[in-house]
Structure 1
């Protein structure tokens, strides 16, 4: 038995729709340019809601207010022993700061239709891109009241 304890990587993602289009990011990865929802890792001392607001802002320069939990997803990264635990949120988009520099690796943010996203499967950062979008389009929403954070003051 290994003495190393396995832990999944906790991530958050924002499903942001405006006028029938979805805010997506193009990012440079080790696998080339990929398409993803604004997403990233939960940081120490941060709530899930704080993390998704921060990640959306850092990757798109848009303010994001989470309104619902779309789903919780467990996915292994192909060809590795890495597992991601993704919490996907839908919500409202706010103001945009075009002068804000985006996170390292983010090439840009763009508004795409669901059809454009679904037709770009070869560019998805992971299969979760499509699954989260499909769940959102199917109307899957859970109350944020399901999420409890017990962080020290």
Structure 2
């Protein structure tokens, strides 16, 4: 990014967050905004997903939405920090849940723990499925200095 062109886009990849499951960066900086790609609860360098139990065919047999939420929030924090931003600079959070009916209350409680001091705009959407066997994914926008 150059001082003469503040709209130039700069790719940002985290060394702590899980590897993307497709051809996209963890985040992209444009001017003083940081746009995060969808972030799930997976762990870097592992096929395991915190809070998820799979059968031999890769189908979910059980999951803990609170554990997945905490893992997603940690992954978002790592991407923000490695990008030069911070948790307090989040301005918009889109949350995708695969089971709003059963998971919203617990998700909302964990969300309140993490966002007690910083309260960005938020949209929560129920979707049928995500690309990996997870129950939550976040899409975020933050400011960056």
| TM-score category, normalised to shorter length | under 0.3
**Structure with a larger share of its residues in strand:** 1
TM-score (normalised: structure 1): 0.24
